[in-house]
Amino acid sequence: MSLRLHFVCTANICRSAYAERRAPTVLGTGFACSSSGVQARPGLAMDPQMAAQLRARGIDPTAHSSRRTGAADVRQAGLVLTMASWHRT
């Protein structure tokens, strides 16, 4: 069984999106990662600069599509990591 990590930021196109894709390459197996944003507009691609950072590390960012944080994201996560303290509220 893997630990489910959920990353939260504002729009889900930069910080949390990057963390969702990068975390598995840093942490290895045993983790399932997802992300969302508290003020996200659904369906947006990752920020081009963040996508370039992932590509530079051999990670494909193209499948990302932004989504808004919902109660189910929090309930299903083993650990919720917010990119700023105000995202916790």
Point out which residues pair with 7 in neighbouring strands: 35, 81
Residue 64 and residue 79 in contact, taking contact as beta carbons nearer than 8 Å: no
Q: How many alpha carbons lie under 13 Å from residue 78 in its C-beta half-sphere?
A: 9
Q: Which residues contact 61 (CB under 8 A, 6 or more apart)?
A: 17, 21, 46, 50, 51, 54, 55
Q: What is the pLDDT of residue 26?
A: 95
Q: What are the tens digits of pLDDT across the range 9-58?
A: 999 999 999 999 999 999 988 999 999 999 999 999 999 999 999 999 99
Q: What is the pLDDT of residue 89?
A: 84
2 pLDDT band, cuts 50/70/90, is confident
